[in-house]
Structure 1
Amino acid sequence: MAPAWLSAPRAAVSLLDGAPASRFRSEPPARVVAVVFRPRTTGVSVAAQRRVVAVATETAPAARGDEVGTPFMEEMRAAAMRLHSRDQAARDGKKEAQAPMEPPIAKWQPTVEGYLRFLVDSKLVFETLEAIVDRAAIPWYAEFRDTGLERSEPLGKDLEWFRQQGHAIPEPSAPGTTYASFLEELSEKDPQAFVCHFYNVYFAHTAVGRIIGEKVAEKINLQKELEFYKWEGDLSQMQQNVRARLNRVASGWSRAEKNRCLGEMEKAFTYSVDLRRHIFMFP
């Protein structure tokens, strides 16, 4: 039941990789390793053997911090992909698969009015996320300030442009206000679950959001690239920086706390799809 954004190019949702393997290509040659494990055949002194063991221990891949356990963002992506697989099975009509939450983008019939409702509700959700991390009632929320992915200001510019073109800008509607209220409450009572929504909202927009922007613009003949789909700077680098912050924060969580975050993925998808219904179901 995952939204279509999970089918976006892998680069849009790629995770932080560990240190390049090339860091370890200058390891001691095989004959030195043989000295460590078969010292009786070498004639090397005990002191020399100990020095070789120390070097092997320091440079072994297992000693790398990025390989002690799985970076949490990889777990997040895996949880999202499991939902994506289930949703794709539903689209393919396989037995026991739940119905997909939204139709393929190619079948959407958007209107300007519906799109404006989506933009207004999206602005409220992004404003809420930004306000929560700015207040940082949970101290480590401050890690997620000023990421470069913030969208409320660009959305404000876009809505002003629509207003200048003669369009009436609606007030936020139920999908936006409901989600914003939910995020406020969740951020106080379950910080780990809140992080799942933070991750989904921002990273879904950098993937499926851009695809939606292009397709909707074509269908409603919008002669403008909205600021909503532009980022200042290198988007890939900003994404990588945010993943690093998320991994750093999650490294201090217990297994139960990580599982609470992962278990929130389906609900995060549901709220995101509810926002998009303005586009694909608006009469």
Structure 2
Amino acid sequence: MKLHTKDQAKEGEKEPRGQPVAKWEPTIQGYLKFLVDGKLVYDTLEKIVEISSFPEYAEFRNTGLERSERLAKDLEWFKEQGHAIPEPSTPGVEYARYLEELSEKDPQAFICHFYNIYFAHTAGGRMIGKKVAEKILNKKELEFYKWDGDLSQLLQNVRDKLNRVAESWTREEKNHCLEETEKSFKFSGDILRLILS
């Protein structure tokens, strides 16, 4: 929680980079960039857990938290509204590439990113989505912010799987996983700031 800013969590210690979310003035073009880059990251995560040679990644298939298909539906909706869908930009491309590299050589670090990406979206991500929808989408709730089933149960199921996987890790591997959190926040923050571009 220390890696959050004070406006994100009361335990937050980081200085905000830019305005608090409540003061954001998002644009459709910026939001589309955010959604496209986010989809690239989710596509990458979902592909990695589907085909990886690390057996522990198989635990994270079909968790109910997957977002790629939902994002594809949302981007199609924007296209139907007459909006041009941009290509992925540098923040998303760099993060996807980093995740692919990590997944092949550093499972603890990769799982840190997996956890942070999915769990952040279910918390602060939903709040941001609601704020953006109020400001630029006439309060339309995108598919990106909907889950089938009880979200708290889906999250608990993934937490249980994460704990099972981490049981076999050494203390050093667990610490290494935690140390990767700051990079996860940086990459995700770069994509999030696309909303304002």
Is TM (by shorter chain) over 0.5? yes
- Tell me, yes or no, if the aligned pair for 1:5 and 1:207 is still in contact at 8 Å: no
1:146 aligned partner: 62
1:167 aligned partner: 83
Q: 1:227 to 1:4 in 2, by over 3 A?
A: farther
Do structure 1's residue 126 and structure 2's residue 42 form an aligned pair?
yes
The TM-score normalised by the length of structure 1 is 0.66
Alignment deviations for residues 17-44 of structure 1 (CA, whole Å, 9 cap, x no partner):
xxxxxxxxxxxxxxxxxxxxxxxxxxxx
For structure 1, which runs of at least 5 residues remain unmatched after alignment?
8-80, 88-98
Shift, 1:3, TM fit? 5.5
Residue-pair matches, total: 195
Shift, 1:136, TM fit? 2.3
- The DSSP-based 3-state class of the residue aligned with 2:63 is coil
Aligned equivalent of 1:85, options 4, 9, 12: 12
Do structure 1's residue 135 and structure 2's residue 62 form an aligned pair?
no
- Tell me, yes or no, if the aligned pair for 2:6 and 2:13 is still in contact at 8 Å: no
Q: Where do 4+ consecutive residues of structure 1 move more than 4 Å? A: 3-6
- Tell me, yes or no, if the aligned pair for 1:126 and 1:152 is still in contact at 8 Å: yes
1:237 aligned partner: 153
- Tell me, yes or no, if the aligned pair for 1:123 and 1:151 is still in contact at 8 Å: yes
**Cα separation, 2, equivalents of 1:262 and 1:225:** 33
**Cα separation, 1, equivalents of 2:54 and 2:7:** 29
RMSD of equivalent CA atoms: 1.6
Note the 1:24-39 alignment, pairs <5 A. none
**Cα separation, 1, equivalents of 2:42 and 2:191:** 12
Partner amino acid, structure 2, of 1:112: I
- Tell me, yes or no, if the aligned pair for 1:5 and 1:204 is still in contact at 8 Å: no
Alignment deviations for residues 55-74 of structure 1 (CA, whole Å, 9 cap, x no partner):
xxxxxxxxxxxxxxxxxxxx
- Tell me, yes or no, if the aligned pair for 1:5 and 1:209 is still in contact at 8 Å: no
For structure 2, which runs of at least 5 residues remain unmatched after alignment?
none
Note the 1:1-283 alignment, pairs <5 A. 1-2=3-4, 7=9, 85-87=12-14, 99-280=15-196, 282=197
**Cα separation, 1, equivalents of 2:63 and 2:158:** 7
